[in-house]
Amino acid sequence: MVPLDPVPQPIDHALRGAPDAPALVLRDAVTTVAEAEAAVARLAGWLAAQDLAPGDRVATWLPKTATACLIPLAAARAGLVHVPVNPVLKRAQVAHILADSGARLLLTQAVRAATLEPGDAPRVATEAGEGDALPRSTADPQGLAAILYTSGSTGRPKGVMLSHANLWLGAVSVAYYLGIEPDDRVLAVLPLSFDYGQNQLFSTWIAGAAVAPLDYLTPRDVVKAVARVGATTLAGVPPLWTQLLEADWPAGTAGTLRRLTNSGGALTPAMVRALRARFPAARLFPMYGLTEAFRSTYLDPALVDAHPDSIGRAIPFAEVLVVRGDGSAAAAGEPGELVHAGPLVAQGYWRDPERTAARFRPAPAHARHRGMAVWSGDTVVADADGLLRFVGRDDEMIKTAGNRLSPQEIEEAVTAGPEAAEAVAVGVADARLGQAIVVVARGDPAGEATLRERLKRDLPTYMQPARIEWRDVLPRNANGKLDRAAIATEVRA
């Protein structure tokens, strides 16, 4: 098991396995730790020869190639700041990220470069070369290493500034509590521009294990990849789990998975039961995180069955507090804002002091860690044992008939039966109620009568949907999450 060492290092030191152990598995090509380390050194040398100054930003807009996986380490070794761009983004979004970050170089593919317009990028390279091998970095671990841009579902993407220490300690923490071992193979299906996806690289390598990045088109591609690489670990977000649970899994393939990890949205109790049944040998790790502090909590798999709606307790190196509106500590059972303090807190938003000041504020007076904390805007409640339950985002709460409701609670009730596979609850203006509840669901409209009968049985009157709208497909953002902002905008139009 990875030792829980609180001393951070430059992130390019992350390759820590045995030299001849596998580090990267791309289709049938296996790259050892020694080969990956040499490739990082030569890629860093190439970057150093590109007339870039220390601290310059280098952006990548790539699928999950070997270069895309290794360049976060190579850029750090060359003294540069990496800006990964989600490969599913389009020209306007990419142009905004390049302009906002002030990237001096974009590394991408020719077909993607062709979609850009003059002035979108100062310099474009469509192929990475090799230079003189650079030694491991001696950079200050508190120095800026990466800028990760949010998906931008509620406005233009904003860049979260992450230090070497943020990345390193996040990787050590996750590798430790997941118990990743050198013989593990982690199937990385999430975007590498996503903090959760990028951490799969770093936490795997710090544990001396191998990562198998996968760009997939269908859930069946994931099933095949699990079998092909002998994956032991799979991370996902709730919409992906929904798709994978609907796929056919050979018993032998499902049985190879030792652990499943979830973030980017809460698992419903029904989904927990389904994952348990489909992957009986896998330990299930529900987690909660936000890019501004990487990861805040996880639930020990031993507690999942008894507490299926919990997001657990603070991960190693994180301090998580439940705070009242006046800044004092909320009591057990009392809802409050989740505030994250400690060394995983990011350095703010790139060139955005106004939004930084709104989200990054001094830690509450009762916090152990001083300095800046992330005030998440998420409402949680802790039970008497300190286990946290997510209630909802302040900006997503539904205010109806004098009640503040969590959309998640309504969505869990809707998806608890067979009628709907996915659902999003939205509040819309209503003269009598303040807001009426509209549910947008993916499923069979013929089942609405049965669904409403069940909801009348399971939910109080004030939580009943005024309207249910059925869709064949629900929109998702660039990170694979349900695009709540787009759904809400459509419903309220």
For every residue of 249-265, DSSP letters joined together read --HHHHTT--EEEE-SS
Nearest-angstrom CA–CA distance, 361 and 357 = 6
Determine the pLDDT at residue 151: 58
Beta bridge partners, 124, equal 106
Single-letter residue type at 446: A
The pLDDT confidence band at residue 8, using thresholds 50, 70 and 90, is: very high
Determine the pLDDT at residue 457: 87
The DSSP 8-state label assigned to residue 266 in this structure reads P
Determine the pLDDT at residue 155: 52
More confident residue, 238 or 265: 238
Whether residue 459 has pLDDT greater than 90: no
Whether residue 402 has pLDDT greater than 80: no
Whether the pTM exceeds 0.75: the reply is yes
Whether residue 154 has pLDDT greater than 50: no
The pLDDT confidence band at residue 88, using thresholds 50, 70 and 90, is: confident
Half-sphere exposure of 236 (CA within 13 A, CB side): 20
Chain mean pLDDT for the chain: 93
The percent of residues in the chain predicted with pLDDT above 70, rounded, is: 98
Is 396-492 in the same CATH topology as 1-163+173-182+191-210? no
Averaged pLDDT, 440-458: 94
Is 191 in contact with 238 (CB distance < 8 Å)? no
The answer as to CATH 3.40.50.12780 being correct for domain 216-393 is yes
Determine the pLDDT at residue 152: 44
The full DSSP string for 31-82 is EEHHHHHHHHHHHHHHHHTSS--TT-EEEEE--S-HHHHHHHHHHHHTT-EE
pLDDT in tens, 474-489: 999 887 889 998 999 9
Determine the pLDDT at residue 375: 97
Compute how many other C-beta atoms are within 10 angstroms of the C-beta atom of residue 145: 26
Angle between helix 269-278 and 238-246 (nearest 10): 50
Q: Both tokens of residue 493?
A: 């139009």
Compute how many other C-beta atoms are within 10 angstroms of the C-beta atom of residue 409: 16
Nearest-angstrom CA–CA distance, 236 and 313 = 20
- In the three-class reduction of DSSP (H, G, I as helix; E, B as strand; rest coil), residue 490 is classed as helix
396-492 fold: GMP Synthetase; Chain A, domain 3 (3.30.300)
The pLDDT confidence band at residue 431, using thresholds 50, 70 and 90, is: confident
The pLDDT confidence band at residue 92, using thresholds 50, 70 and 90, is: confident
pLDDT in tens, 60-78: 999 999 999 999 999 999 9
1-163+173-182+191-210 — its CATH code?
3.40.50.12780
Nearest-angstrom CA–CA distance, 146 and 144 = 6
pLDDT in tens, 318-354: 999 999 999 999 999 999 999 999 999 999 999 999 9
Intra-chain end-to-end CA distance of the chain, in Å = 52
Task: Look at residues 136, 142, 69 and name the one whose alpha carbon lies nearest to residue 107.
Answer: 69
pLDDT in tens, 196-238: 999 999 999 999 999 999 999 999 999 999 999 999 999 998 8
Task: Look at residues 195, 247, 256 and name the one whose alpha carbon lies nearest to residue 222.
Answer: 247
What are the extents of the domains in the chain?
1-163+173-182+191-210, 216-393, 396-492
In 345-451, where do the E strands start and end? 360-362, 372-382, 388-393, 398-400, 403-405, 420-430, 434-443
